[in-house]
Amino acid sequence: MRLVDLSRQQVADLRWIAEPDPVLDPPFPSPVIADPTFLPPESTPTGDWRLWAHSLLGLHAYRSDDGRSWDRVATVTRNALRAQIVVHDGFLLAYEKTRSFIPFGVPWSSHIEARTGTDLEKWSQPVTLLSPSQPWHIRGRSAAVSNPCLVPMPDGHWRLYYSAGLTRLPDCGFDEPTYIGVARGPGPLGPFEAEPQPMLGPDDGPASLAAGAVKVLAVADGWIGFQNAITWDGQHSGSEIWLLGSHDGLSWDVLAPVLQPTGSGWMATHIYALDVRDTADGPRMYFNARDGYHWLRGRERIGVAFPAV
């Protein structure tokens, strides 16, 4: 089974099952390891699994023989987070670049940049793909664009789906992205021009507090998007993964819930950003989840999920 061969409704009918234990814990002293992006063995030069994720220390590269037990092999860059790996004329690693994760409370400033390479070990100098340019990219003194999702279009141009703006999660003490936007460019390195209005925002679909992020994939009859929508129930924030569907990749309908917090354990309160791909073993999703609300107490780990067969 491959997602690319299914219709939107067939993907919506899948039931995703997360393995009970995380596959990756945060590196000391960071309380989080988050926002995974990965490649299966058939896509790597060395025939092993590769994954990139960030901690408070920077953006790290990992390898694995089985996709479950991971070894950290490098820190690609400091002050970077929310990456996406793309296979195109070699490899492209896009991510959000900021000044620093700490101290907390300082204005956030970030842009999206990318590096290219041929062996997943050595990377080019970064190229800026997108900087904050629209009013909804900015909140007060903070300006943010993040969560790159580069997607090739049938006509040869590329879309850059991305998150922008910041919304405070009162019970967690940190911010999550308010909007999801789209920018267009002639190739994966741009230059990209952002559409003037956001594609998704608070109160669109399942999001009641902030839009979070989206991973967009082409399927047999259009497009699907896996969104980690940020919610607020009057007392607590939350984040769940939902499946969206679209005929054009711009106007979206909510199709089905995918993964929800469990209320206890390492997935207790929030399920955040993800990467999902077809592999030789079938569709696979890596995601990060949070076990508590406030950043001083909660920890984030990475897990893996598969469609039930």
The DSSP bridge pattern shows strands 193-194 and 210-219 to be: unpaired
Q: What is the mean pLDDT of residues 227-239?
A: 96
Residue 104: predicted pLDDT: 61
Beta-carbon-side half-sphere exposure of residue 19 (alpha carbons within 13 Å): 17
Mean pLDDT value of segment 25-48: 97
The pLDDT of residue 103 is above 60: no
Q: Answer yes or no: are the C-beta atoms of 226 and 240 closer than 8 Å.
A: no
Q: Is 203 left (phi over 0), alpha (psi -120 to 50) or beta?
A: left
What is the rounded CA–CA span in Å between residue 101 and residue 217? 30
Q: What percent of the chain has pLDDT over 70?
A: 98
What are the structure tokens assigned to 161, written together?
A: 């789906």
List b or e across 168-194, with b for residues whose CB sees 16 or more CB atoms inside 10 angstroms. Answer: ebeebeebbbbbbbbbebeebbbebeb
Residue 66 tokens, joined: 């089985």
Q: 309: pLDDT confidence band, cut at 50, 70 and 90?
A: confident
pTM score of the predicted model: 0.97
pLDDT digits (tens, 9 = 90+) for 253-285: 999 999 999 999 999 999 999 999 999 999 999
Mean pLDDT of 221-235: 97
CA-nearest of 139, 133, 124 to 192 is 133
Query: Which residues in 271-299 are b (16+ Cβ under 10 Å) and which e?
Result: bbbbbbbbbeeebbbbbbbbbbbebeebb
* First-to-last C-alpha distance (Å) of the chain: 10
Instruction: Specify the amino acid at residue 137.
Output: H
